[in-house]
Structure 1
Amino acid sequence: MEGVAGALGPLFLLILLGALLGRLDQPGGDFWPRMERLIYFLLFPAMLVSTLAGADIQQVPVGRLALALLGAMGMLGAALWAANHRLGLAAPAFTSVFQGSLRFNTYVGVAGAAALHGEAGATVAAVAVALMVPVVNVLCVASFIAAGTLGTAGMRASLAALARNPLILACLLGIALNLSGIGLPGWSAPATELLGRAALPLGLVAVGVALRPRALLRLDLGVWAANLAKLILMPALVLGFALLLRLEPVSRDIALLFAALPTATSAYILARQLGGDAELMAALITGQTLIAMASLPFWLRLVG
């Protein structure tokens, strides 16, 4: 139990540091929006390429990991659509609930995996990102299309953005370099690794900066439904799959970690651009990130 707290505690301290910097508006101006773009388009993709290109993927039970993570994601997504008529949410609010229930914060996930299980954890986490990022993006864009919040132009733009998603492209490149046996030749390997090392601490601070404390005042049905789905139902489903599929401890822990993560801060931008309820999304991001400081250790202690 102390090991879980010791691994995750420093990550949450960095998030709280970011929240403090955001509250104080430091360093000011548009520093953090620009830094977040740098992390998203360069540093985090570099970390994924570096990890996947040199990883011993054969040691990861990819098939069973995919069944656990994607199976739970598909079941929860279907359940949300089935329950939508009972929830009675407007289309923009439902798309935010859908995102808040399925999206996950990759920065916290990869940092937590490395803190919990070192290089082995980071490798499983990179595989989990490669599996989940394309699927969750397709499902979330599909939810906007099905809810009718997109016009024709918005649909084209969202599909084009999906094809250019830097995390998806980084995963594809890293896997291709790995399977081809090329890897990262010469100086490119240490250079890419150095870039990737900057991604996680800066990403965690940026998560804190993006929190909106005022959004916590919103406590309607959408907030309760998304928090229940993301922080309780999703990890419970993945844990059930992991035990049923007999995942070994490292893969089981990382699968559970990714299932119990709070939703992604990037979901707010998508909600604004694609017709979702942006204020509800801000409430979900802020609330889930704070609640996860207690719920994440709980789930990991449950299997630890």
Structure 2
Amino acid sequence: MNPIFGALLPIFAVIGVGWGLRRSGLMPAEQWPAISRLAYVGLSPALLFSVISRADFDAITVAPAVAAAALGFIAMGALAIALKPLINTDGPAFTSIFQGSVRWNGLVILALATLSYGLSGEVLVSLIMVVTIPIVNVMAVTVLTIWGTSEKKPDVGAVLWRIISNPLILGCLAGGVANVFGWFQSGPIADVLALMGRAALPLILLAVGAALDFSALNARRHLLAISVTMKLIVAPFVFGAVAYAFGVRGDELAIVVLVGASPGAASAYVLAQQLGGDRRLTAGDVTASTLLSMITLPLAVWVATQIG
């Protein structure tokens, strides 16, 4: 069995459990936002702190892979804008296609990289998250500001503060500081943070499943097909080509391709709702890319391993 596919099975099984819990009513729909926020704000930063604070960076060379991932997101954003005249749709729908092309579910990929590549994969994806989250958010907000329909345009200062105060970024930065100074490498605080971190990924995966909206798959199917194709087929190729050009090989190349091939994130729906994007198209993209990535992720990584 392909090791990536083997690692995907438990991840998608947990996602399926989340969908089943919401669908059955055992966990009512109105409770899931609180669960998602707990995992995102409270537990995920603890996970990232724990991983980065204990990482042995002397044994890991990650700069080319992180740079390649960052450039990959920028390239996908530029490609989406270049294709806008050919897509020939309204502004809000284009913003959803753009977000579908550049947004990625970092915590799902973190879980997959951890299961497949161990600590080195966990550290690399964590570092890619802290570098690329600001880049992706700035691009998405800019495009929504230009082509969205919301009459309330975002305040630049508020957007910058939202990025700077992102819990995932803060967790990574705090972990980096602790790593440099040797703080919390062991002891009760390190144990508490590690225990909290272990609860993050299961809750995130359950929340991803609970957020799946199959009814949204009927929204503007031709545009949905474009968005999903950009994310699951074009993006892995772009990320892989950039990483290969940067000299990235082996497991690091496969991980950069994994990042490019990631399904969409629910944060795209929240931003579309706030800034005038096409919410239904975005919901459909997140659902379709999550489901189809079970097929495309192993294929993308297999191609990367054959090349690198």
| Class of the TM-score when normalised by the shorter of the 2 chains | over 0.9
Number of aligned positions between the proteins:
304
Give the match for residue 229 of structure 1. 230
Give the match for residue 297 of structure 2. 296
In 2: Cα distance, 1:26 partner to 1:267 partner: 27
Give the match for residue 213 of structure 2. 212
State the shift of 1:245 in Å. 2.6
Give the match for residue 89 of structure 1. 89
Give the match for residue 3 of structure 1. 3
Give the match for residue 239 of structure 1. 240
In 2: Cα distance, 1:178 partner to 1:299 partner: 33
1:71 paired to 2:71: yes
In 1: Cα distance, 2:67 partner to 2:162 partner: 27
Change (3 A) 1:240 1:108: same
The one-character-per-residue Cα deviations of 1:111-134 (angstroms, maximum 9, x if unpaired) are 000110111211111112122212
Select between 122-131 and 218-227 the one with higher mean Cα deviation: 218-227
State the shift of 1:181 in Å. 3.6
Give the match for residue 99 of structure 1. 99
In 2: Cα distance, 1:108 partner to 1:147 partner: 29
Change (3 A) 1:25 1:266: farther
The one-character-per-residue Cα deviations of 1:134-190 (angstroms, maximum 9, x if unpaired) are 211121112122325455663354443223221122222222222344355632111
Give the match for residue 57 of structure 2. 57
TM-score (normalised: structure 1): 0.93
The one-character-per-residue Cα deviations of 1:175-213 (angstroms, maximum 9, x if unpaired) are 222234435563211111110000111111110000001
Select between 10-19 and 246-255 the one with higher mean Cα deviation: 246-255
Return the letter of the residue paired with 1:128: I
In 1: Cα distance, 2:95 partner to 2:155 partner: 14
1:128 paired to 2:128: yes
Give the match for residue 270 of structure 1. 271
The one-character-per-residue Cα deviations of 1:245-264 (angstroms, maximum 9, x if unpaired) are 33242211211111111010
State the shift of 1:84 in Å. 1.1
Give the match for residue 182 of structure 1. 183
Unaligned runs of 5+ in 2: none
Return the letter of the residue paired with 1:92: P
Q: Is the 8 A contact 1:77 1:102 kept in 2?
A: yes
In 2: Cα distance, 1:105 partner to 1:210 partner: 13
In 1: Cα distance, 2:72 partner to 2:166 partner: 23
Return the letter of the residue paired with 1:26: L
In 2: Cα distance, 1:104 partner to 1:221 partner: 21
Secondary structure at the aligned position of 1:40 is classed as helix
In 2: Cα distance, 1:158 partner to 1:151 partner: 16
In 1: Cα distance, 2:136 partner to 2:33 partner: 23
In 1: Cα distance, 2:72 partner to 2:222 partner: 23
State the shift of 1:86 in Å. 2.1
Return the letter of the residue paired with 1:254: I
Change (3 A) 1:137 1:184: farther
Aligned-residue CA RMSD in angstroms? 1.9
Mapping of 1:38-53 within 5 angstroms? 38-53=38-53
Secondary structure at the aligned position of 1:30 is classed as helix
Return the letter of the residue paired with 1:93: A
In 1: Cα distance, 2:150 partner to 2:171 partner: 27
Q: Is the 8 A contact 2:145 2:275 kept in 1?
A: no
Q: Is the 8 A contact 2:66 2:124 kept in 1?
A: no
In 1: Cα distance, 2:101 partner to 2:211 partner: 18
Give the match for residue 252 of structure 2. 251
Q: Is the 8 A contact 1:87 1:221 kept in 2?
A: no
1:167 paired to 2:168: yes
Q: Is the 8 A contact 1:67 1:241 kept in 2?
A: no
Return the letter of the residue paired with 1:60: I
Secondary structure at the aligned position of 1:154 is classed as coil
In 1: Cα distance, 2:266 partner to 2:190 partner: 29
Change (3 A) 1:57 1:274: farther
1:19 paired to 2:16: no
State the shift of 1:56 in Å. 1.7
